[in-house]
Amino acid sequence: MPTNKWILPEGVEDILPEQAYWLEIKRREVVDTFLSYGYGLVVPPLIEYHDSLLTNSSDDLDLQTFKLIDQETGRQLGLRADITSQISRIYSTYNDKDEVNRYCYFDHVVRTKNKESKGSRIPMQAGAELIGTSDIKNEAELVILMIDVVKKFTTKKIFLDLGHIGIFRKLIESTNLKNDQKKQIKKLIKSKSSSEIKKYLNNIKVSEDFKDCISSFPKMHGSIKNIRKNLDQLKYFNSDIENDIDYMINLGNLVGAKHTDVQINYDFCELQGFDYENDIIFSAYIENDSEEVALGGKYNCSENNTSGIGFSVDVRYLLKNQPVEKKLINKSGKWIIERNNE
């Protein structure tokens, strides 16, 4: 039994040989898939200056970041909670801003808090970032790549949810609501509770049209056919939203043409992730699992508002869905690979 001095912090764990074996196999497969799409592998440092890690990022990412003081300079450092901001720094530092750049990574992140269903505060992330283009075909390529990566871990049916956080922001910014009220509305929309949304909106000063639009968000999940009526209502409230909706649908069509076995849904309550996403957002789910296995979105990656789009997957969580044809076992002090039928 371990002594008290060997107990690990909650949400922090060792990766033992059985899982490390599969982790390494999948690392090679995933990185090879990234490279086949033309993405270059980068390995950013685990620790950076705190300000650098949070450039163009949000309060929720700040809360997830462990902070410490550099003994050499006295400046505040941070352990990365997400790799996207580091890719933005790499792009801004080393590359010609007129070129499209593709980056990929496979590494740990460290977070102050864990998602209750996933448990780990040190997830292993694999991801890709496409920077310097807003072309829909390039962006569809990245979502297609995300699904390719998920398929490396499972043979189960995959579901893709597409959302657009910019639509919610255009609606909410059309009001004179206070920031805390906007945050509460966002929280209620994510909960998909129509009754709670209506109850809250009835107690604040907003137009009836706004109430109708926001209250309809929980109903806007599923195929385009199922949500068409509510989409027309959004377009009526704000004509700029029509372009955003059309873009979502066209993106879904491009992805669906490549992955015909993936069920594509449109979810206007999908406001996940860190708050630097400002446009299209998306997440992948596996059959019989309510937790997303991959998520991503579009963002501004630098001070000159260069467009970026990326995704990440929690590799260790995905390994739970890995069909196991062989295993690593310890025999007489040696680790040996055996097939399950042996």
Q: Are 336 and 327 in contact, with CB atoms under 8 Å apart?
A: no
**Confidence at residue 3, expressed as pLDDT on a 0 to 100 scale:** 62
Nearest-5° angle of CA 312, CA 316, CA 318? 70
**Confidence at residue 342, expressed as pLDDT on a 0 to 100 scale:** 54
Q: Residue 129 and residue 62: Cα distance in Å, rounded?
A: 21
Which residues, including other chains, have CB under 8 Å from residue 328's CB and lie 6 or more apart?
17, 18, 21, 335, 336, 337, 338
Q: Are 167 and 248 in contact, with CB atoms under 8 Å apart?
A: no
Domain boundaries, the chain: 9-155+283-339
**Confidence at residue 42, expressed as pLDDT on a 0 to 100 scale:** 97
Average pLDDT, the chain: 85
Work out the number of other CB atoms within 10 angstroms of the CB of residue 286. Answer: 21
Nearest to 127 by CA among 282, 310, 291: 310
Q: What percent of the chain has pLDDT over 90?
A: 40
Q: Residue 266 and residue 144: Cα distance in Å, rounded?
A: 16
**Confidence at residue 63, expressed as pLDDT on a 0 to 100 scale:** 87
Both tokens assigned to 210: 């706004």
**Confidence at residue 101, expressed as pLDDT on a 0 to 100 scale:** 92
**Confidence at residue 33, expressed as pLDDT on a 0 to 100 scale:** 97
The pTM for the full model equals 0.87
**Confidence at residue 225, expressed as pLDDT on a 0 to 100 scale:** 73
**Confidence at residue 98, expressed as pLDDT on a 0 to 100 scale:** 67
**Confidence at residue 241, expressed as pLDDT on a 0 to 100 scale:** 80
Q: Are 313 and 293 in contact, with CB atoms under 8 Å apart?
A: yes
Interval 317-334: pLDDT, tens? 888 777 666 777 888 788
Low-confidence ranges of the chain (pLDDT < 50): 274
Cross-strand pairs, 94 = none
| 9-155+283-339: in CATH 3.40.30.10 | no
**Confidence at residue 202, expressed as pLDDT on a 0 to 100 scale:** 86
